[in-house]
Amino acid sequence: MRAGQLRHRLQLQSATTAPDDFGQPIPTWSTYADVWGEVRPLTGRERYTAQQVQSSLSHQVRIRYRGGVAETHRVRWVDKATIKILDINAVLNTEQRDRELLLLCSEAAD
């Protein structure tokens, strides 16, 4: 994996709960890792092929291998002063070599 391709600063976030003003638990997201990665929108053909398995896939994110990344997490990406939230639909360990992860994501409706 070439380091120059990992040019986007990303935050991996996990769902947690925090109390509101009245002490009731509310769902929130907390950042558990800041990583460098490559975010690539899927092209029309890739998107069509990917949607055969998962509906509404829109981005592919490539990061260095990190244990514990799961479909219940999400990626927060600041792109040119725009914040994008990407829900992780699939986590693929490329060639099962523990060198990089390929995250298939869909843009969240937040």
Per-residue pLDDT at 80: 80
pLDDT at 4: 75
Instruction: Supply the pLDDT for residue 81.
Output: 84
Question: DSSP strand E in 1-110: where?
Answer: 8-19, 25-41, 59-64, 74-79, 82-93, 100-107
Per-residue model confidence (pLDDT) at position 47? 54
CB under 8 Å to 39, separation ≥6 — which residues? 8, 10, 59, 60, 61, 75, 77, 79, 86
pLDDT value of position 25: 92
102 to 32, 79, 89, 90, 93: CA distances (angstroms): 18, 19, 11, 8, 6
- CATH code for residues 3-107: 2.40.10.270
Prediction pTM value: 0.81
Sequential pLDDT tens for the chain (110 residues): 666 788 899 999 999 998 989 989 999 999 999 999 999 988 766 555 555 555 578 899 999 999 999 999 999 998 788 899 999 999 999 889 999 999 999 988 75
Entry field: residues in the chain: 110
Interior CA angle at 39 toward 37 and 44, to 5°? 155
